[in-house]
Amino acid sequence: MPFSQKNIAFGLDIGDKSIKLAEVKLIKNLRSQEHLVLTCFNETPVPEGFIINGEIKNVPEIVKIIKNCVKGANGRILSTKAVIASLPESQSYLKIINIPKTRDKITGDFVEGILSQHFPLESSKSYFDWQFIDSDKIMLGVAPKNIVDSFTSVIEQADLIPLSLEIESTAISRAILLGDSSLEKKYKIIMDLGATRSSIIATYDNNPVLTLNIPLSGDGMTQEIAKSKKIPFEKAEELKLLCGFDVKRCPVEIKKIIASIINSSIKKIQTGINYINRLLRIKIDKIYICGGVASMAKLSNSLSEKLRVKIRHADPASKILIDKKLKISNEELLKYTTAIGLAIKGTERDVLAPK
């Protein structure tokens, strides 16, 4: 039996196609051993056009969707209204910056003064935050005020408390690489494959240092099938899920469409990998994949073969335990990677709960 449970905030992943939540608790047993346990999760779809490229277009409906997602959560009852939510990667910027040796102290004024040197945003129209990576580096995150304010607003209107907002790649890295000392001081590559957008995340010392957008997305594949076969989006989605990346399972008439999509995406992904290799002076030999598309049939095999890189499914479950009341497969868990990373942040001792 658990001796104590600690949870400050749950994770809320606000995306263009769906809103997902996860709650993770830090449980200490009678031997004072601590474990992270997933106690609650849910996903609620977002209709087309309500959120576009990370911008909330229909505030009242998104508020309702968040409320429904919370109300219908699977597992134990949410123990807090405090939220750590995601900021869309497409609307955010993240960079590791070397601290000048002449600086004895890092202040907000200093960071604000260098924003324009590193990001294409005006400091007066942006929010920023930073944390030390080591003694001579900081990780700096920046996002437009209108995006941050809109996300904060819908959370508050849903009767929740926005404790913190975090860029997606940071949450994903935490969920996948948390506590793995073998990965420290090393570059690792994650591929987050979502419904509307996907990205390659390069990490160092378990922190994201670079993200690149890539064209392989679930909806993009469905739209191409629908366009080529002149069929409704819903029917194309069924065919995509039937085939996955296993061309042998496809009906004959769409084999060529799937193959074309795969080959086109592979070329652009390879370009991104080559760029990372040159920029970071590394040789990528393994990529962890996560996100909803990652569970598609034969995806890892297809990517491994064509990219000539080892592709491994990320395993958030290796970092956490699953509450006995929950039933969720490892494949389904992949699409909750961001929400789980946010929820883990909600158990950290340096996150202060609002009074």
- In this prediction, residue 180 carries a pLDDT of 63
Q: Decide: 176 and 337 in contact? Cβ < 8 Å.
A: yes
* pTM for the full predicted model: 0.86
Judge whether 107 lies within some domain: no
Q: Are residues 167 and 305 in the same domain?
A: no
242 belongs to a structural domain: yes
Residue 91 confidence (pLDDT) above 70? yes
What local confidence, expressed as pLDDT, does residue 3 receive?
45
Residue 53 lies in a domain: yes
Regarding whether 261 and 172 lie in a shared domain, the answer is no
Does 28 have pLDDT greater than 60? yes
Examine the domain organization and report whether 162 and 261 are in the same domain: no
Residues 296 and 324 in one domain: no
Look at the chain and count its residues.
355
Segment 142-158 mean pLDDT: 95
What phi-psi label fits residue 179: left (phi over 0), alpha (psi between -120 and 50 degrees) or beta?
Answer: left
Q: Domain check: are 162 and 235 in the same one?
A: no
Whether residue 324 is found in the same domain as residue 236: no
pLDDT at 198: 87
pLDDT for 316-353, tens place per residue? 888 789 998 899 988 889 899 999 999 999 987 655 43
Q: Are residues 159 and 43 in the same domain?
A: yes
Q: What is the rounded average pLDDT of the residues 300-308?
A: 87
Which DSSP category does 40 fall into? E
Same domain for 83 and 18: yes
In this structure, the answer to whether residues 11 and 85 fall within a common structural domain is yes
- Residue of 117 and 48 predicted with greater confidence: 48
Is residue 184 scored above 60 in pLDDT? no
Residues 268 and 327 in one domain: no
Backbone phi, psi, residue 158, to 5°: -85, 15
Domain that includes residue 221, residue range = 214-311
Could you give the CA distance from residue 353 to residue 156 in angstroms, rounded to a whole number? 15
- Establish if 298 belongs to a structural domain: yes
**d(Cα 355, Cα 352) in Å, to the nearest integer?**
9
Residue at 121 is within a domain: no
Do the beta carbons of residue 165 and residue 148 sit within 8 Å? yes
For residue 353, the model assigns a pLDDT of 38
Task: Find the CATH number of the domain harbouring 326.
Answer: 3.30.420.40
Name the pLDDT band for 178 (thresholds 50, 70, 90): confident
E strand segments, 112-205: 126-134, 137-144, 161-167, 187-193, 198-204
Same domain, residue pair 295 and 168: no
The total number of structural domains that make up the chain: 2
- Asked if pLDDT for residue 310 goes beyond 60, the answer is yes
Residue 197 pLDDT > 60, yes or no?
Answer: yes
Q: Average pLDDT for residues 195-223, to the nearest whole number?
A: 85
Q: Between 85 and 279, whose confidence is greater?
A: 85
Is 257 within the bounds of a domain?
Answer: yes
On whether both 328 and 269 belong to a single domain, the answer is no
Report the pLDDT value the prediction gives residue 114, as an integer from 0 to 100: 73
* The token pair that represents 2 in the structure block: 């658990």
